Chain A
Amino acid sequence: MSDKVPGDLRYTKSHEWVRQVHGETPNGTIEIGITDHAQSALGDLVFVEVPEVGRALSAGEACAVVESVKAASDVYSPLAGKVVANNEALAGKPELLNEDPYGAGWLFRLETGAAANAASLMSASAYETLLAEESK
């Protein structure tokens, strides 16, 4: 069973994905979620806690919790910034994270100040290499 790793996203070692948000939102806004690999490893998700809008996060800060039937797992902020939106739908439907980890299962949006910031994160190919190494 191979995990989906979309080529247009950035990734972290702790299995978050990062999408650059373009359009009406300010520069440097990113959307964050957990990867297909992460949701698959966790199993059926039953509870998700997302950070409050307005909260300031530092890079690497534990800021969300995803819980499966079996265990709770922290989600870390990939970059420093301010939370500008969170996915309220997950409160009632945590299974969205299993069903659509890169879409309806997004966790929160972060304003980082500069669009270039996300470029420092892992590319899809680097993340695929990491997954290959972890499965050894």
Chain B
Amino acid sequence: MGLKTPLYDTHVRQGAKIVDFGGWDMPLHYGSQIEEHHAVRRDAGVFDVSHMAIVDLTGVRVREFLRFLLANDVGRLKTVGKALYSCMLLPSGGVIDDLIVYFMSDSWFRMVVNAGTRDKDLAWITKHAADFDVTTVERKDLAMIAVQGPNARRKTASLLSPPQQAAVLELKPFFGAPFGSWFAARTGYTGEDGFELMIPAAEVADAWAGLLAQGVKPAGLGARDTLRLEAGMNLYGNDMDENFHPLESGLAWTVAFEPADRGFIGRDALERARREGGRELVGLLLEERGVLRSHQKVLLAGSAGAAADGEVTSGTFSPTLNRSIALARVPKTSQPTVQVEIRGKLHAARIVKPPFVRHGKPLIDIS
């Protein structure tokens, strides 16, 4: 028996296959993972992501604190409601977690962190927050759902009052704002347009039912994983963790080295890593039949031994491309192809630049 979100009974009633995910009993799918995937790419799907932790940070020095705590720079957030994706690093540069932080007011930022890392994240944040007189409060009273797909915003808006509808549809990408008791943000983890909604736990089942009445399809963690991988988005624990820094995890774009005088936890290690080079995270497209999976060995042509090998960090079958795709950590290379070992046999895979799919369209040549 794991932890349950406020929507657990709803999932069971809708026939979800429930699995353990980081200690939570979560829906894997409601019948067909592939149909749920296509629903999000083509129309609209809704995910329960209430297992993730919402943390409010308050204090007059909260911005200064987050500029020290996070590898990306909240100093970039000039407009209330704007969101920022960032890693939170150890002094070694290893990734404690990846997260989204929202600029709510000059003395209030809201952070969303992964379920599996919540305890260590909160311990780490709280420990450093004390030096800045910043208070952290986990918002267990809020549930969170993600409505994603080309029709997701329109269908979500129809649940709101007319003036709210107009306002929610005007939200720009990576912005959030309150709408009555909801907080809606134009963010997501699928490569499609849509909203992530933070809703009081007592109201979320009604919101879920309202979305389904609009034809939004419930989607489970299975589809969430294939969608995020097609979108080239990392999964914590697979594609990065405390043993790897952002530069070898495809997340260099999230590290703000400028301004050079901003000290942040992990900066010194990343400056060294930046000079030394090393490994990188690449996309792979399997040229043959089969399915790439995490931990499969990746061999570069002419590589002399194990030291030159790489590893698949996330792999799956892509329902949109009808091919297998992966993220893999490999030594920096200019080779166009690699070999992946699947059950003792070598299979050719092409190195491609993620994302593989965005807004319903393939972005890589699969011929």
A residues contacting B by CB (< 8 A) are 1, 43-44, 46-47, 49, 65, 67, 69-72, 91
Q: Are A44 and B291 closer than 8 Å at their CB atoms?
A: no
Are the CB atoms of B289 and A70 closer together than 8 Å?
no
Contact residues of B: prevailing secondary structure: mixed
B222 CB-CB contact with A under 8 Å:
yes
Residues on A with C-beta less than 8 A from B324 are 47
Chain B 2-52 residues near chain A, CB threshold 8 A: 15, 17, 28-29, 32-34
Q: In the complex where A43-B222, A44-B33, A47-B317 touch, is A72 in contact with B291 (Cβ < 8 A)? A: yes
A28 to B289, CA, bound (A): 33
Q: Known: A1-B15, A69-B222. Is A44-B32 also a contact (CB below 8 A)?
A: yes
Contact with A along B198-233 (1 / 0, CB 8 A): 000000000000000000000000100110000000
Complex Cα spacing A70 to B357, Å:
19
A69 touches B289 (CB 8 A): no
Q: In the complex, which residues of chain A have a beta carbon less than 8 angstroms from the beta carbon of B226?
A: 69
- Chain B residues contacting A44 (CB-CB under 8 Å) are 32-34
Contact B291 A43 (CB under 8 A): no
With a cutoff of 8 Å between Cβ atoms, the chain B residues found around residue A71 in the complex are: 293
Decide: A43 and B293 in contact? CB cutoff 8 A.
Answer: no
Top 5 closest A-B pairs, CB basis? A46-B317, A44-B34, A67-B291, A47-B291, A69-B33
Binding site for A on B (CB under 8 A): 15, 17, 28-29, 32-34, 222, 225-226, 289-291, 293, 316-317, 319, 324, 343
**CB-nearest residue of chain B to A40:** B17
B32 touches A91 (CB 8 A): no
Mind listing 15 A-B residue pairs with CB under 8 Å? A43-B32, A44-B33, A46-B34, A47-B290, A47-B291, A49-B290, A67-B290, A69-B226, A69-B316, A69-B319, A70-B28, A70-B33, A70-B222, A72-B291, A91-B289
A residues near B33, Cβ cutoff 8 Å: 43-44, 69-70
> How far is it, in angstroms, between the C-alpha of A70 and the C-alpha of B21 when the chains are bound?
14
A63 to chain B minimum Cβ distance, whole angstroms, is 12
Residues of A within 8 Å of B291, CB to CB, are 46-47, 67, 72
Distance of A60 Cα from B167 Cα, bound (Å): 63
A3 to chain B, nearest CB (A): 13
Instruction: Output the least CB separation between B292 and chain A (Å).
Output: 10
A109 to B290, CA, bound (A): 22
B34 nearest in chain A by CB position: A44
Cβ of B319: which chain A residues have Cβ within 8 Å of it?
A: 69
In the complex, which of the residues A1, A65, A67 contacts B317, with contact meaning CB atoms closer than 8 Å?
Answer: A67
Q: Would you call A47 and B34 a contact (CB within 8 A)?
A: no
Inter-chain CA distance A76–B324, complex, in Å, is 25
Nearest CB in chain B: distance from A28 CB, A: 29
Chain B residues, Cβ within 8 Å of A65: 343
Q: Roughly how many angstroms separate A13 CA and B291 CA in the complex, as a whole number?
A: 26
